[in-house]
């Protein structure tokens, strides 16, 4: 997979940008606040249909601009493809194009440009709240499994609706009659979400353990366990079984949900735990151990993409290298010998000449 070029109009702080890239390592250089992360954000948007730094798409449109237009040329399996998204202020929906043909939604564009993003916050992903870890799973699975993206968005829609019912039922008690139907559908889509996550984590756990073994010179053994709805005995079991177990959990918590006014049960509270030598990394890991494990996790994610799609995903490293000591930098860079990589940083001399260089100043490319 190769991102050959990108064109931005009115995206974030870019008035107009046309940039071409090399197949190997691309350094994106610039001082703080010039637009380096914005450029990666545009790539991720065309890859996932989502902005990774905000939930508000409007923020992506350059202040005062009538629209934001993002377009990328991608080379995948010897074929050229063009991905394009146009965003508008206000309520007008976005427009998506694949090879110039208008698409109804992002589902048909998912997987056309696969990316793995690694940023400084990810170095702490095994230390922070569960939401970040769920996002890691969702982001990977939405790119790799269209069925997952659909199940997840359906589940989230139902969850929002159910949460509103639980909040408002005191004013309108009749709303509670609709709960069983919501629970049933949430158990169906929830079981699909659990099954995809369990499979993905199984692979991720195996690869991460391997990478980590090398990284730590064989001193540490890493293992990952999936934590989902407590009544689910085996998340790898057939979906019908998981569905029944989610329903049982919902029933047991119905009263508590109605009383607390909150949705307390379902895979929207999922997490995974990482253990090193049998100890919880979150509770007992040192800073260095947490970082090392995060790198192993990200490198494994890239490997799964490669195995799964038959192509190396585009790797986006936003400011990560400057956060790492020399030993960890070396390990990471050593693992990047193949595929296309984008590395943002402020200082060119921090790295030996790696590949192509794009210099960004105030949302403009310097020649
Ligand atoms: P750093 O090295 O500090 O990470 P960076 O080069 O990655 O910096 P970005 O985060 O890409 O910087 O760009 C930040 C700049 O873009 C900010 O100054 C911000 O004000 C500006 N910006 C963000 N959104 C918009 C927008 N919608 N319109 C105009 N400018 C914007
Ligand atoms: Mg940045």
- The per-residue DSSP string of 228-262 comes to --TT-S-TTS-HHHHHHHHHHHHHHHHHHHHHHTS
CA gap 25, 33 in Å, rounded: 22
pLDDT at 65: 97
Question: How far is ligand 2, taken at its centre, from the CA of residue 108, in Å?
Answer: 30
Q: Is 216 in the pocket of ligand 1 (CB under 6 A)?
A: no
pLDDT at 357: 81
Q: b/e per residue, 303-328, with b = 16+ CB within 10 A? A: bbbbebbeebbbbbbbbbbeebeeeb
Question: How far is ligand 2, taken at its centre, from the CA of residue 76, in Å?
Answer: 27
CA gap 196, 21 in Å, rounded: 34
Q: Is 256 in the pocket of ligand 1 (CB under 6 A)?
A: no
CA gap 364, 367 in Å, rounded: 10
Most ligand 1 atoms within 8 A of CB, residue of 34, 60, 317 to mutate: 34
Rg of the chain (C-alpha set): 22
CA gap 249, 187 in Å, rounded: 10
Cα dihedral 175, 178, 182, 183 sign: positive
Q: Is 134 in the pocket of ligand 1 (CB under 6 A)?
A: no
Instruction: Give the predicted TM-score (pTM) of the model.
Output: 0.90
In this structure, the strands spanning 101-103 and 2-11 are: unpaired
Q: How many residues does the structure list for the chain?
A: 367
Q: Is 7 in the pocket of ligand 1 (CB under 6 A)?
A: no
Q: How buried is residue 173: exposed, middle or buried, by Cβ count under 10 Å (0-12/13-18/19+)?
A: exposed
pLDDT at 250: 96
Which residue's alpha carbon is nearest to atom 17 within ligand 1?
33
Most ligand 1 atoms within 8 A of CB, residue of 9, 35, 58, 319 to mutate: 35
Ligand nearest to the CA of 38: 1
CA gap 1, 75 in Å, rounded: 6
Q: Is 59 in the pocket of ligand 1 (CB under 6 A)?
A: yes
Packed helices 287-309 and 130-144: angle between N→C axes, nearest 10 degrees: 20
Known binding residues are: 30-37
Which secondary-structure segment (H or E) carries 344? strand 341-345
pLDDT at 351: 66
Known binding residues for ATP are: 30-37
Most ligand 1 atoms within 8 A of CB, residue of 8, 10, 13 to mutate: 13
Ligand nearest to the CA of 346: 1
Q: Is 62 in the pocket of ligand 1 (CB under 6 A)?
A: yes
Q: Is 34 in the pocket of ligand 1 (CB under 6 A)?
A: yes
If the chain, 367 residues long, is cut into consecutive pieces of 10 residues, what is the mean pLDDT of each piece? 97 95 91 94 96 92 97 96 97 96 93 93 92 95 93 96 94 92 97 98 96 88 96 97 97 95 96 95 92 93 95 94 86 86 82 75 83
pLDDT at 57: 93
Ordered DSSP codes for 5-37: EEEEEEETTEEEEEEE--SSEEEEE--TTSSHH
Which residue's alpha carbon is nearest to atom 29 within ligand 1?
13
CA gap 201, 198 in Å, rounded: 5
Ligand nearest to the CA of 39: 1
Ligand nearest to the CA of 8: 1
Question: How far is ligand 2, taken at its centre, from the CA of residue 119, in Å?
Answer: 9
pLDDT at 251: 95
């Amino acid at each position: 997979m190769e991102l050959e070029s990108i064109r931005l109009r009115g995206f974030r702080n870019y008035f107009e940008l046309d940039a071409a890239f090399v197949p190997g390592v691309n350094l994106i250089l610039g001082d703080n606040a010039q637009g380096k992360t914005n450029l990666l954000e545009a790539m991720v948007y065309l890859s996932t249909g989502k902005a990774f730094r905000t939930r508000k798409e409007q923020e992506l449109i350059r202040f005062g601009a009538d629209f934001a237009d993002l377009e990328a040329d991608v080379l995948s399996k010897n074929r050229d493809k063009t991905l394009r998204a146009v965003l508008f202020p206000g309520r007008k929906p976005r427009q998506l194009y694949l090879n110039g043909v208008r698409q109804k939604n992002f589902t048909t564009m998912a997987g056309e440009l696969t990316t793995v993003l690694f940023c400084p916050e990810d170095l702490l992903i095994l230390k922070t709240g569960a939401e970040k870890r769920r996002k890691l799973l969702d982001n990977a699975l939405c790119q790799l499994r269209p069925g997952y993206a659909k199940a997840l968005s359906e589940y989230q829609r139902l969850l929002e609706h159910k949460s509103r019912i639980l909040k408002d039922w005191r004013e309108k008690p009749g709303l509670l009659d609709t709960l069983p139907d919501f629970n049933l559908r949430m158990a169906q889509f929830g079981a699909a979400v659990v099954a995809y996550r369990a499979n993905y984590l199984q692979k991720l756990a195996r690869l991460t353990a391997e990478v980590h073994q090398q990284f730590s010179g064989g001193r540490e053994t890493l293992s990952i366990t999936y934590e989902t709805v407590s009544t689910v005995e085996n998340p790898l079991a057939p979906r019908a079984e998981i569905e029944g177990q989610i329903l049982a959990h919902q029933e047991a918590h119905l009263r508590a949900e109605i009383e607390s006014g909150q949705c307390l049960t379902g895979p929207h509270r999922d997490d995974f735990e990482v253990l090193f030598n049998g100890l919880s990394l979150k509770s007992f890991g040192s800073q260095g151990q947490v970082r090392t494990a995060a790198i192993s996790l990200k490198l494994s994610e890239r490997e799964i993409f490669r195995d799964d799609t038959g192509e190396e995903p585009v790797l986006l490293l936003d400011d990560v290298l400057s956060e790492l000591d020399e030993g960890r930098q070396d390990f990471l860079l050593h693992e990047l010998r193949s595929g296309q990589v984008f590395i943002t940083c402020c200082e060119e001399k921090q790295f030996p000449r790696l590949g192509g260089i794009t210099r960004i100043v105030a949302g403009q490319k310097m020649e």
